[in-house]
Amino acid sequence: MNPRSFWIVSFTSMAIALGLGFSAAKSWQQRGVAGPALAGVRTSTNQGLDFSNVIPKVMPAVVGIRAYRAEQRQLQPDFHKFHPQLQPRESTGSGVVVDVEGKVGYILTNEHVVRDAETVRVILSDGRELKGKIGATDSKSDLAFIEVYGHDLVVAELGDSSTIHVGDWVLAIGNPFGLSHTVTTGIVSAQGRSDIKLIDSDQRYENFIQTDAAINPGNSGGPLVNLNSEVIGINTAIASRTGRYEGIGFAIPVNLARRVYQDLRKFNRVRRGWLGVSIDLVTREQSELLGLEQSGGILIRETFEGHPSDAAGLEVGDIILSFEGEKMLSVASLRLAVADTEIGSEVEVVILRNQQKKTFKVILGEAPQSMEHLYSRLKREHKKIEKEDIGLSLQSLTQDLADNYGFGDAEGVLVAKVEPNSRAERAGIVDGTLIQGIHQGEERQYTVKTVEEYEKAMAEVNKAITFGMSIRRPEERRTELVSVKPLPQSDEE
């Protein structure tokens, strides 16, 4: 073959190869975005996904919110702010129209967007600005609704947040930094986030959707939307060290938001189911101390006299294993399950007591709007009696001391003093604590009512390793299980 023919053949082969490569790449790109999960979403051979046909159906229902306050107020630290700061006289947020009756529109947003506001202005997608009226709020879920009067208001379609999956595409719409009706995209990063304490309330109901769609200040209250143009969440907060987007945002599931909105409209408050207990999670270590076969379950720290659990026979120290047939693995799961159950209904609660499972029928009440009145402040008084090797000075609990500390008819041994840097102090035990039990594995479970019973129990447990104590603190009338661990070995040893 002459040189000229060789180069002709070589270039021809190269062109064919490149052509096949481009064709395969184009085909792969098209195949990669097709399928049921992206139904209704156009694709582009140049840019991949095209969300432009999702936006028009929901954008007209999204609003901007400006809340005006008479004065600045001090804010407590929250998830992405590390120092208290002043709440500005004017703040911005977002919302979504979820209902219209005549010419009255109802806008769902976050409670913190309109908190303490005296005047609210609502900006529609067509540029109209309307006067808003705060309807009702719920700080425990961080939700509120606003009423506006206007014509041609568009209502967003609410979806079903129980059908979403990690990895689903979502769009966040709102007004970050006052930039009206901004759209960002991402995926559902996680579900059921309930241990992040975003909501500023002692009775918080958290069950967040986590997303990496960009959310910034001003997005709060805006919708998180699926590819069918349905609202599946209300954007609420971000995890950030700077107060700006860093890839982690949180939205309230629309199923929870819908229920809260309906109660706010009907009752001007949210009606939630109520067991009448104070609870805490049983950790893996506590499970071992209590001799449980497996970790999990919710420890009853306190029952409130005359409330549902007390009336049904549940007791402090019981461990709730299931509620209405569902295994309880976290405090949040039980709190949400109870709250979502109809008030007045009879529910089945399975508990563990003294290594035996028992089933109780409990008629749920309505959760109080505030828990403050259920707790009493305890006076503190100390008397040194006897020193133990874990750093405690104890005394018997007389009726006068029980009344003075607010323990009522409870039984146990009173801690008169805790030695600094002792095992007891490291376990979180403080002066005035009432010790009610000692626990270490299945074979060592002791109820403590007197100093003598305490001494006998302590003689039986292996103090060289971790053991547990059931206690009631002087300023909290609840029972909890703490771990008393060995002191760390010194460098000299």
Which residues participate in catalysis according to the annotation? 112, 142, 220
The radius of gyration of the chain from alpha carbons, rounded to an integer in Å, stands at 30
DSSP count for the chain of H helices, then E strands:
10, 32
Beta-bridge mates of residue 147: 106, 133
According to DSSP, the β-strands at 467-472 and 479-484 are antiparallel
According to DSSP, the β-strands at 223-225 and 208-211 are unpaired
CA distance 299 to 345: 23
What is the Cβ-side half-sphere exposure of residue 421, based on CA atoms within 13 angstroms? 1
- Yes or no: say if 58 and 156 are a contact pair by the CB < 8 Å rule: yes
User: Residue 308: CB partners within 8 Å, gap ≥ 6?
Assistant: 274, 275, 276, 362, 363, 364, 365
Q: How far is CA 86 from CA 64, 109, 129, 221, in A?
A: 22, 21, 27, 21
CA distance 437 to 444: 10
Torsion of the alpha carbons at 299, 300, 301 and 302, rounded to the nearest 10 = 180
Q: Could you tell me the two tokens for 259?
A: 């229920």
For tokens 């661990």, the residue is 485
Q: Could you tell me the two tokens for 322?
A: 């299931």
Query: CA quadruple 399, 403, 405, 407: dihedral positive or negative?
Result: positive
According to DSSP, the β-strands at 346-353 and 208-211 are unpaired
Q: How far is CA 345 from CA 209, 273, 304, 361, in A?
A: 29, 9, 19, 10
Dihedral-angle region of residue 453 (phi above 0 means left; psi in -120 to 50 means alpha; beta otherwise) = alpha
| Residue 443: exposure state from Cβ atoms within 10 A (0-12, 13-18, ≥19) | exposed
Q: Could you tell me the two tokens for 56?
A: 């028009």
Within 10 Å of residue 386's Cβ, how many Cβ atoms? 12
Q: Could you tell me the two tokens for 459?
A: 């003689």
- Read off φ and ψ for residue 161, nearest 5 degrees: -70, -10
- Yes or no: say if 99 and 155 are a contact pair by the CB < 8 Å rule: yes
